[in-house]
Amino acid sequence: MALIYVLNGPNLNLLGTREPEIYGHQSLIDIEAMLTEQAKALGLTIDFRQTNHEGVLVDWLQEAKRAGAAAVLLNAAAYTHTSVALLDAIKAISLPVFEVHLSDPMQREDFRHISYVGMAAAGVFAGHGAQSYALALDAAARLAL
């Protein structure tokens, strides 16, 4: 069964508790449950994780490659807009990495308009709340298997 890593960055552990007008009411646990069901229906396995640490995201991207994952969904949160280390890691693993955002960074502050992740991503799904993850998983199933 194909394996998809779903990696989440800083502060996303707080989802559902604050700023619901931007990020929605669902918690990260709710999103994991939704994606797990979707993955089952698609015949995939997901490995769903969250960290507040940039280097841990780099470690997990490298691990995805070693583990034989078919693709990665990555919501790097604020590191999306700052991290050359993530860009280098995405390039280094040569796996399709789909960038995911709950909100649409392009419709927010200027500092969110740059995406280092997007410079190497296989696709970007943003602005649809938790459904951005669902759209990205469908894309991974269609494009990466």
Q: Quick check: is 5 catalytic? A: no
Q: Pick from 106, 104, 136: which is nearest to 123 by CA?
A: 136
x-or-dash string of contact with ligand CA2, 56-95, rule CB under 6 A: -------------------x-xx-x---------------
Nearer to ligand CA2, 1 or 84 (CB): 84
Q: Quick check: is 23 catalytic? A: yes
Q: How many CA atoms lie within 13 A of 64 on its CB side?
A: 31
Instruction: State yes or no: residue 96 binds ligand CA2 (CB under 6 A).
Output: no
Nearer to ligand CA2, 14 or 34 (CB): 14
* From 53, 79, 81, 101, active-site residue: 101
Q: Mark out the alpha helices in the chain (DSSP H runs).
A: 20-23, 28-42, 54-66, 84-93, 131-143
Binders in 4-63 for ligand CA2, by CB under 6 A: 11-12, 14-15, 18-19, 23
27, 110, 142 from 73: Cα distances, Å: 17, 24, 14
